[in-house]
Each structure stands twice: as structure tokens, then as C-alpha cells.
A and B are shown apart, each in its own frame.
Chain A
Amino acid sequence: MSKILLLYLIFSVLIFFLPKKLAGYKAIVLMLLQVAVFIYFISLALNTPSGSTVIEEIPWIPGLGLNLVFVADGLSGAFALLITGIGALVFLFAHQYMKKYENTGGFYLQLNLFSGAMLGLVLSGNLVQMFIFWELTTVFSFFLIAFFHEKEESRKAAFQSLFVTGFGGLSLLTGIILLGTVTDSYAVNDWITHADEIRNSQLYLPGLVLIFLGVFTKSAQFPFHFWLPGAMQAPAPVSAYLHSATMVKAGVFLLIRLTPALGGTPEWTYIISLTGVLTMLTGAWFAVTKTDIKSILAYTTISALGILVLLTGINTMLSLKAALVFLFVHAFYKASLFMIAGLIEKKTGTREIENLGGLVRYMPLTFIFATLALFSMAGLPPMLGFLGKELIYEAKVQSPGIASLVLILGVTANILMVTVSLLFLYKVFLGKYKNRGAIPNEKGFLLLSGPAVLGMLSLIIGLFPEFFAKSVIEPALNIIRDEKIVVKLELWHGFNKVFFLSLVTVLSGAGLFLLIIKQEKVITFWRKINTRLFAVNFSDVFTNFLNNFIEFSKQGTKSIQHGYHRYYILTIVLFASALLTLQLMVTSEWKIQAPLSFRPFYISGVVIITALATIFSIISPTRILTIISMGVAGYGIALVYLYYSAPDLAITQILVETLTVVMFFLILQRLPRFAKLSPIRTKIRDAVVSLFFGGIMTMLALKAIKINFSNPVSDYFVENSLSKGYGRNIVNVILVDFRALDTLGEVTVLTVAAFGVFLLLRKKSEP
């Protein structure tokens, strides 16, 4: 399986090296890859018994016990089929759709890499590895949303989605690591075997909440849902692929994946169910009032994601089955609808529902496929959507605990979905053609191929669901529940409570639809409620928060990074002195054992002269005196070196000091005199701080003298200097033999300095 992922990587690059004739067919090439991988997973599903897993393990960071684990089982297989299948259709669609735009190479690269990352995500058997793929999808989503990066809105939306999902991703990582400490492993299988241990751990709740944050941001759950409508700035293929069928389902996937390990507790059930219900309702509620067709689709997507999360939260066999079926239902109709939306936008130049209408005359085929998809969305027979909805109702009816509330809210949401579907169909395709622009057409059959295939699939699977249930849903369910389950799907359930609920849903939905059409006031009133009810726009809240945060950071930075060089130094030195003082006080075993003595006197004389020269160099009024006294101090130090057995040091110090003075004099003529810049008070303050620092350093020096650590490194040098280095001057042997690499580094630094000086001061060449 790792090879498949590699293939994605290779193909992403390969499309740039296609021969000229094929250069226009990048999308087709990538589509073929998707088809191939799709077939691979189909054959894998057919050739392995239900409930078995294929595992590939590659050592990654063995020291941390991290292995790259790729798992193909029923669950990941189902997702992989979605990713590759819809991926193939999306590439086909994109081939036609993106023709007019520039820089499509980069677009396909990102889309294909996204596809690979998504596949990697669902195949991951290791949570850290999954996190990496998770973040990769976030990043590619960012790039893809920002495809029209010359538009500010686009950039803003891209950033918003990156920020929200990126934040979620980090929470997720923290959660994974937290819970990983319980089991000491990041492999999903280990988590499942140690499920009880995790659930009883103190870290369970915090870890769970953090993981939920990741899931809810990725799958656009309330209150993080706002990034998804913003992400509609992306081109239609991206919306169809990332923001309806695959990426936003990653959160749901993770929930399902972790259900055996973390699920089953009240915390799990209530947090997820509540979030799911809220999201489901919010999405459907807002979808009715939106006028931008992509925006409508985005909100219905949010609603659908809410349903999926809710079903995972209910966590019964039925609900998980419903979730799996609905996953496909939604992917089929939503990807199809997004492609249709892109098509309509392309042909009519608008996405506003008020400007559309009557398209059935110009785009009959589109109308048919849209009807199929919308019927599926509304949950009308004989589509797969009906089946999905029935299952959902069944699951909700039988859900333990908060069943009645969930059921009422769920039915409400579904009623709204029916209304939205009908509204969409009516406003876009029926009625009068209002658009003044060009007459739309259906040229470019590739644009319609996706909706056609998906629509037909919805219909066929809806009518004959046995094969689908057997080969896709059953293996996935077996993996989640870890037991042998025989899944049967039927369109017709007979007259029961669920059917009755469906009937109520459809009738109420249709009634609401009629009401809205007949009475314009209803929708305006609805919108008014929305603005009252949700006075806070989540997107604005986010933007404000971000702006305030940036402002706060700016202020903070300004107060720390004030630009006065010497205050930086002052801060650093004061802090360093404080640390040193502390250390000196703590390490009491370093006794100061140096009595003050002035023998030998001539060295005392040298030291005193050096000290005086140093002090004079500070207070002298002219530059020349300062530099000369600085030189004197340097020579004094050289004499100290000489006396205390370091002739090499002494010679070097003298030479360097000489050169220093020479250099100063060379440049001095061309520099200004010392200006008196600081007032006397500043000088006194600086002097006090400097004295404090100097005093600390004296203490340090006193304490540092004659500390003998057990085995001085120098012993090695002393012993081997003559025998191995053939030199008697140990210092020099260290420099050129034992530590030659350091010396090389030093010479390199000097060379860089020399060329730096040369470049800084070279004469400007005459033009």
C-alpha cells in the first residue's frame, strides 16, 4: 500500500513531464491513476474475506516504537473506494472545467497530492502517521481553496480554513499523544486492545476532548462549521472532492476508527451526539435561506456531516450501519451536485439562485441528473438516499438515551433538507429563465459524466442494494464492531414507524416548500429570524479574534522589541548576572581559596597598569587616547600570559593587539569624534550596572580558579602530543592536529569576515 502512495507522489511530478501532445491531458492521466487504484481496492475487497485485514508495516522511528502501518480493512477500504472513485470522476470533470484557467499544472499537482494524502490518512494504522496525513490534507485544502488567489476573499477563506483545521489538527496531535502515554503506543490496534485501560485512565476525558476538537474542526461541526461555506471560494472540482466527499469526512472516519478504542462511554455518546444534532440542525436551517447555490450545498453538507457524527455518537450496530450507508449516499449526491453547480456557474456565469431559473429548457440532461441527486438528498424513493434516510430513522428510533430529542430534531432537519432540495430544483431549473447573459448549453460531455455516473449509481444501488451491502458495508461494519454481521439492505421496509416518519418528513418538507414559494414573505421573515437569532456571525468572530490577537502580539512585540540596542544588552546582561549570582550562591562547595597577594611584584605592577589603562580608556575624552590605552591594556594582558607559561598566547596577543591598533588608526581619520550622547544620569546608571556585572564576574573567576574536575581532557593531549602528533608544543599540536577541524572552522570564519569587510568597503565601481 505504501507503493500506491508513492505512485501518487510520482504521478504528481510526472504530469509535468508529459510529452507535448499529452500535456493538455494531465487530468486524464491522473484520472487513470485513480481508476487503477480504485480497481485495486475493488479486487482487494472481492478477494479477501469479509472482516479480514491486510497490514503492511515499515519501520519508521524504531527508537520511539513508531512504525509506518498501512491497514486495508473493510473500513479503510470503503473510504479508499470513495476517495479513488469520486477522485476519478472529479479529475474527469476538472479536465473540462479547468481548461480555461492558467496554472492548472499546479492545481492538478495539489489535487493529486491531496488525494494521496487522503488515501494515506484512511490507510494509516498508526495515529501519528495518520496525523501527518491529516495535516497534509489541511495544507492541500488551503492551497486548493486559494486557487483564485488574486481574489482577497479567496485568500481569506483559505487562511480561515487553514487556521481552523490546523488548530484542530494540533489539538488532535496533543490528544493522540496524551492517550498514547496511557498505552505507550500510537498504533490503533494497541489502543483497541487496551481500550479499557484508556477509558479508565484519568487522561481519557482531556484526550477525548482534544481529539474531538480535531474531528469537529475538520468535519465542520458546530461551532467550527463556518470555514466550510467560506471554502466554497475554491473551484468546483475542489468543492466536489474535498469539501463534500472526502476531506470533511476525515473527522467522521477517525471517529469510526476510534469507536472500538474510545467509544461506548457516556462522554463519547453525549459530546458527539449533541454536537452532531446541533450541526445537523444548524446546517439545514441555514441552507434554506441561502441564495448562492454553492453556499446552499455547503450548508447541506454541514448538516449531513452532523448526521454522520450523530450516528457515530449513538454507537449502536444500526447507527453505524446507517452512518456507513449515508456516507456513500451523501458522497454520491453531494459530489454530483457540486459538479452541477460548477457546470451551471460556468455556463450561466452566476451562482445566485435569484438570477437562475428555467434552465430545464437549455440543460435537460443536467436537470435529470440534478433531480436524481436532489431526490437522493431529500431521501425520496427509489434513490439510495431514501434507503439511507430510512436507516437513519431506524437508528434514531432505537437509539438509547436521548432518543426522543434526537428523533424530533432529526426529523426537523430532514424536513428542511427536503425543502431545500425542492427549492433548489425549482429555483434553478423551473420557472422563467431570468439570466440576461448568454444562452447556456450542455457542451462538454465530460462535465456531465460525473453527475451522470453518480446519479445512476444512486439509483441502481437504491434499487438493488444487496451487492453493495455485501461487499462494502458489511466488511466495514465487521471491522468496527469486531463481530460477524450480515448486512441486508432493502428499499422497502413495509409499513412501520420508520416509514410513517418518512412520510411525515416528505409531506412537511413539500408543504414548507410550497409555503415558501407562494409567500415571499416567509423567506424574508426567516432571514430576519436568522439575523436576530444568530446576531453573531461566526466568521466575523473568528476574524475579530484573529485581528485582536495580531494587535496584541504587535503591542507585545513593540514593548519588548523597542529598537534600542543598549537596552537589549542591558536586559540580557542583567538577566545573565542574576542567573550567575544564583548559581554562585547555590554552588557553595566551590570555595574561594585565593588570598590576595602581590607577589611577584612586577606582575602586580603589570596588572595594575593594565587596570589603570582600561579605566583610562573609558574616561578619556579623545579617541586616540582611548585606543592607545586600550592597546596598553592588551599588551599588559599579553605579559600576564607570558609570565604564566603561555608564550604562544602572549605572542599572538601582542601581534593581534598591534594589528588592532593599526586598524583603528587606519579608519579613525575618517570617523567622527566621540559625541557626548548620554546624560550624566544614564552614565551613572550604566556604571552601576557594569560594576555589578564586573563584580559578579570577579566572583566567578575567583570561584573558578583551581577547580579540578576528575579527568582533564588535556591529559590526553599531553600524553599523546609527542607520540602521536610528533610535536613538543602541545598547544600547537592541539591546534593543527588534535583539533584541526576546529581550526579549519576558525580560518573559515576569518575568511568570511575578510570577504565581508572587503565587500562592505570596496570602492563602488564606476558604471
Chain B
Amino acid sequence: METLLAILVGILYTAGFYMLLRRSILKFIIGIIFLSNATNLLVFLSAGLVAGSPAFIKDGNMQAEKTADPLPQALVLTAIVIGLGILVFTLALKYKYFEVTGTDDLDQLKKTDD
């Protein structure tokens, strides 16, 4: 299963990066989402996969069986929520940009000061 998930990570990165290279800003934002998903999955994956044993402490026997690693989970959880913040902020920027310039084209963003 790891192999399959690794391939999924690759696909997500490919998709995210491809979208990042598009001129449309909306696609660009979607690209960011894919990239953050891909990275989350990569971090999650690199800790090793453990099925059906969440990182909870059970009563009685302390850690008899192998449980999932809690640290990457905490990291990814943070990353997911932050990702939401980034997404909404870029969306707002995008909207403002469209409102001001009337275009969706990133190439119009070339000049910084006029």
C-alpha cells in the first residue's frame, strides 16, 4: 500500500505543480491546495503506516502493540488548518486582484509599480 500511496503523492505533486504553472490565478490557487495535500500526505507517509491503531493510550497494558506515531499527525493537523488560512487569503487576494484589474492572467502581474 505504501507504494501506491507514494505514487498518489507523486500524482498530487504533479497536479499541484502543473496547476501552479498555469496563468489563471484560480488554477494557481487550486494548485496550492494540491501541493499542501501532497505534502501532508508525504509527511504522514514517512512516519510509517499503521492500520487500526490510533495514537491513543489505552487502559491497562502500556503500549503493548505498535500504535501510530502521533507527532507527524500533530504536524499535519496543524498544516491542514493553516492550509485553509492560506487558501482563503489567496482567494481573497485573487478576488481583489480581479476586481481591480479585471483579469485572471498572472502575466498581467508583471509590473509591480506604476
Interface residues of A (CB under 8 A from B): 563-566, 569-570, 573, 594-600, 603-604, 607, 610-611, 614-615, 617-618, 623, 626-627, 630, 633-634, 637, 640-641, 643-649, 652-653, 656, 659-660, 663-664, 667, 670-672, 674-675, 677-678, 686-687, 689-691, 693-695, 697-698, 700-702, 704-707, 712-714, 717-718, 721-722, 728-731, 734-735, 739, 742-743, 746, 749-750, 753-754, 756-757, 760-761
Contacts and interface: CB of A to CB of B under 8 A. Distances in A.
A512 B58 CA distance: 107
Contacts of B55: 645-646, 718, 729-731
A627 B91 CA distance: 13
B104 A607 contact: no
A627 B68 contact: no
B1 A645 contact: no
A678 B33 CA distance: 21
A640 B19 contact: no
Which of A573, A615, A637, A670 gathers most chain B CB within 10 Å? A637
Contacts of B112: 563
16 contacts: A563-B112, A603-B1, A604-B4, A615-B11, A615-B15, A617-B34, A637-B41, A672-B104, A675-B105, A690-B17, A701-B6, A704-B42, A706-B48, A728-B58, A730-B55, A750-B81
A627 B5 CA distance: 22
Given A573-B17, A643-B51, A718-B63, A701 B22 contact: no
A4 B19 CA distance: 65
B92 A760 contact: yes
Interface string B2-44: 1111111111111101111111101100100110011011101
Contacts of A700: 42
Nearest to B94: A671
Pairs A-B, 6 closest by C-beta atoms: A694-B14, A698-B10, A563-B110, A645-B68, A701-B6, A753-B85
Contact of B81 (A570, A610, A626, A746): A746
B77 A618 contact: no
Contact of A734 (B57, B70, B84, B104): B70
Contact of A646 (B11, B13, B73): B73
A627 B77 contact: no
A607 B68 CA distance: 20
Contacts of A653: 80
Contacts of B22: 566, 677-678, 686
B111 to A, nearest CB: 7
A569 B22 CA distance: 11
Contacts, number: 267
A115 to B, nearest CB: 42
A617 to B, nearest CB: 7
A695 B6 contact: no
Interface string B86-105: 11110111111010000011
A677 B105 contact: yes
B13 to A, nearest CB: 4
Nearest to A708: B48
A116 to B, nearest CB: 40
A626 B68 contact: no
Contact of B70 (A569, A627, A718, A756): A718
Of the candidates B8, B24, B30, B87, the one having the most CB atoms from chain A within 10 angstroms of its own CB is B8
A566 B21 contact: yes
A739 B77 CA distance: 13
Nearest to A730: B70
B10 A694 contact: yes
B71 A714 contact: yes
Contact of B33 (A630, A640, A693, A698): A630
A735 B77 contact: yes
A263 to B, nearest CB: 54
A734 B74 contact: yes
B57 A694 contact: no
A661 B18 CA distance: 20
A515 B3 CA distance: 98
B77 A671 contact: no
Contact of B95 (A594, A667, A687): A667
Given A645-B68, A646-B73, A674-B26, A697 B37 contact: no
A646 B98 contact: no
A742 B17 CA distance: 28
A734 B17 CA distance: 32
A712 B27 CA distance: 39
Nearest to B5: A607
Given A597-B4, A663-B88, A664-B91, 15 more contacts: A596-B3, A604-B4, A607-B1, A611-B11, A633-B12, A634-B33, A643-B52, A644-B50, A645-B68, A652-B77, A671-B94, A689-B21, A690-B14, A704-B42, A704-B46
B36 to A, nearest CB: 10
Contacts of B67: 645, 718
A697 B81 contact: no
Contact of B12 (A614, A660, A667, A714): A614
Given A645-B67, A664-B91, A718-B55, A630 B34 contact: yes
A656 B89 contact: no
Contacts of A597: 1, 3-4
Nearest to A562: B110
Nearest to B111: A563
B15 to A, nearest CB: 5
B104 A671 contact: yes
B104 A675 contact: yes
B105 to A, nearest CB: 6
B17 A693 contact: yes
Contacts of A596: 3-4
Contacts of A686: 18, 21-22
Contact of B69 (A712, A729, A756): A712
Nearest to A692: B14
